[in-house]
Amino acid sequence: MTKATKVIALRKNRKQVPEPTLRRLPGYLFFLEKVREQGVMNISAPSIGKELKCDPTQVVKDLAVTGVKGKPRVGYNTYELCHALEDFLGFNHVNEAFLVGAGNLGSALMAYQEHQTLGLKVIAAFDVDETKIGQHIGNTPVLEYSKLFHLSNRLDVEIAILTTPNNVAQEVAEDLVNCGVKAIWNFTHEILDLPDHIIIQNTSMSSFAAVLLQRLNDSKK
């Protein structure tokens, strides 16, 4: 298989990867980067599974989506696998994003720099609150919301992070789509009604909190 053919195959495979697998891949990458820094050159699926508390068979199946295969009695080369995971996840390419809603959550996301190493860089935030406009949070400028439309004509930004109040989330999301955004990371509780081709990733802090508290309560029974 030529390099070009392999790239095409991986791109096709990426579209078919189940979401649970995609959720696990960053965990593999962070663990492998850690052991690589410790000088580990090769590692087996059972060793990865033991550390991450998952079945070795699942590890092999998950990592197969990168195109990298472990060798018998040797395992995976940590350098090769880290590179393959970064490439598959898109972490080695910076994707610029807008953020709308520079409140407490939005400000925290801007101040958090780690996501830039994951291929996501917030280049501008927008808000209607005059006390926030003109500030820089984590090196990200907070601009007047009306400037979103002007900047979108100049910049080819396809990703937006939505951290607005729930009651304006749908309207803002529609504006973002009209500005050319193709993927929205939605931190609001609003169920967005957008065209089918728009990618929406919902992240509910309250849902995660509910699961955590329920698991804690169950552990006490």
10-residue mean pLDDT series, the chain (221 residues): 45 70 94 96 96 95 94 94 93 91 93 72 95 92 95 91 97 97 96 96 87 88 76
Domains and CATH numbers, the chain: 3-89 (1.10.10.10), 96-207 (3.40.50.720)
Per-residue model confidence (pLDDT) at position 189: 93
104 annotated as ligand-binding: yes
**pTM (predicted TM-score):** 0.81
Per-residue model confidence (pLDDT) at position 90: 87
Are 142 and 125 a contacting pair, CB within 8 Å? Answer: yes
Per-residue model confidence (pLDDT) at position 198: 97
101 annotated as ligand-binding: yes
196 φψ region: left (φ > 0), alpha (ψ -120 to 50), beta (else)? alpha
Per-residue model confidence (pLDDT) at position 206: 84
Per-residue model confidence (pLDDT) at position 209: 87
| CA 152/CA 148 separation, integer angstroms | 6
106 annotated as ligand-binding: yes
148 annotated as ligand-binding: no
108 annotated as ligand-binding: no
90 annotated as ligand-binding: no
Residues 6+ apart with CB under 8 A from 78: 32, 35, 36, 40, 41, 42, 43
Per-residue model confidence (pLDDT) at position 94: 85
Per-residue model confidence (pLDDT) at position 117: 66
Per-residue model confidence (pLDDT) at position 113: 63
Per-residue model confidence (pLDDT) at position 165: 95
